[in-house]
Amino acid sequence: MTNFFPFHAPFCSERRQAGKKDYVSSCSKLEEILQQALGISDPIPVPPATIISGLQLIHQECQKRKQVNQFSHNNIIWSPTEH
């Protein structure tokens, strides 16, 4: 697998085995998680129920933000052009 993360945290140590670069300690897991999140490696298997509940949570949070934004835009108390 190509290394998509050329930067390394200073606490990561590297080792080479048969031309393959590995990261020792938690860096290898962090790199794996980042690659999965960016969609450049095999996905983490996620049950459909988890995906659906996650989408519902995202939808609820978006609705809350819309309500807050509408409230703040509709209730302007002071305008810099009015003196």
pTM, two decimals, is: 0.34
Judged by DSSP in three states, 17 sits in: strand
> How is the chain split into domains, by residue range?
1-43, 46-74
Token pair of 53 as six digits: 């509940």
The widest CA-to-CA distance across the chain, in whole angstroms, is 75
pLDDT of the residue at 76? 58
pLDDT tens for residues 6-39? 444 444 444 455 555 554 455 666 677 677 777 7
CA distance linking residue 54 with residue 46, whole number of Å: 11
Cα dihedral 1/9/27/41 (nearest 10): -30
For residues 19 and 54, the model is more confident at 54
